[in-house]
Structure 1
């Protein structure tokens, strides 16, 4: 666990996504298979689960949303997702959510849909299709929470999933590369503190070079 400005970052265990917390918002709580680890990190950050009211999912894949069901049923957290990916959850589509790849069922949750330019406190929703057609990033003018769109070392998300698109991924990365970014909070692996714009641009350049 680390605090970077107003964001608490929790690196995911095993196949879990990274999780991020700002204000009363939790982004991508992971599969739900390592909740003890998650709660230990909350305690270390001096955050009570009761202080969190909302879950925002960057996309519908199980490694990001699996814990939603437990957290909603036990603590009443509201769950938000882009409308295109929320539809897969509502249909319990195990392939589109990749829950079937994890040998799990799609979380049984009530999902509120979000759209481009919606805001969660200082963070604005940016629709970034490519990894899935309903993928989003969150941006507050300084920090960018990218889900599985941008990773460190110039890498970026796969686009070979059911609703993925290489062209959409390239377009989303190109759009993000024009932002002024200091910190990049990635969906998996190390996040980037400082000079985030250069990292996002490298990912965009690589996508255009390789595809």
Structure 2
């Protein structure tokens, strides 16, 4: 567990996504296979599970949202997702949510919609399709929580999974580049708090060749 400004950072283990906490919002709690680790990291941050009220999923993939069901059942958290990815969960499209690659099925969730321009605390929702059709990032002007849209080092999310689209990914990364953020908190791997614009520019260059 680490903290940068107002963001609590829980780096994912194994195939799990990174998780982040801003205020009373937990972003991308992971698959649920390592839920005890997640809970221990939240406690290490000086928080109780009841301090969290909402889950925001950057997209519908199981490694980011598989834990939603247990957390919603146990703590009553509200769950938010972009409507285009919410549809995949509502319809239980196991290939689209990649639940099948975890040997699981898409969980039955009560999900609320989160649209472009909505606010999560001080963070604005940015719709960034490409990895999935309903992928989002969260930006407060300085920091970007980027899901699987862009990663540190110029990398970005794969586009060959259901609803992925390389053209949309290139457009989304261009959109992110215009935000001119200085801190990047991605869905997997290390975060970046220096030379972020250069790393995103590299993503733009690579994605433009897809």
Q: Is TM more than 0.5 here?
A: yes
Partner of 1:182: 182
**Deviation for aligned residue 1:195:** 3.1
* Contact 1:179/1:197 (<8 A) preserved: no
Q: Deviations over 1:107-159 (max 9, x none)?
A: 11100011100001100000000000000000001100000000111111100
Q: Deviations over 1:151-178 (max 9, x none)?
A: 1111111000110000000000011011
Aligned residue for 2:205, secondary structure, equals helix
CA–CA distance in structure 2, aligned partners of residues 200 and 181 of structure 1: 9
**Deviation for aligned residue 1:200:** 1.5
Aligned residue for 2:138, secondary structure, equals strand
The count of residues paired between Structure 1 and Structure 2 equals 210
Partner of 1:20: 20
Q: Deviations over 1:90-110 (max 9, x none)?
A: 011101101011100111110
CA–CA distance in structure 1, aligned partners of residues 160 and 23 of structure 2: 34
CA–CA distance in structure 2, aligned partners of residues 23 and 201 of structure 1: 30
**Deviation for aligned residue 1:48:** 0.9
**2:63 aligned with 1:63:** yes
Partner of 1:31: 31
CA–CA distance in structure 1, aligned partners of residues 53 and 200 of structure 2: 30
- Aligned pairs for 1:102-141 (under 5 A) are 102-141=102-141
* Contact 1:181/1:195 (<8 A) preserved: no
CA–CA distance in structure 2, aligned partners of residues 198 and 22 of structure 1: 26
Aligned residue for 2:185, secondary structure, equals strand
TM-score of the two chains, using structure 2 as the length reference: 0.98
TM-score of the two chains, using structure 1 as the length reference: 0.98
**Deviation for aligned residue 1:194:** 2.6
CA–CA distance in structure 2, aligned partners of residues 154 and 79 of structure 1: 30
Partner of 2:144: 144
Partner of 1:193: 193
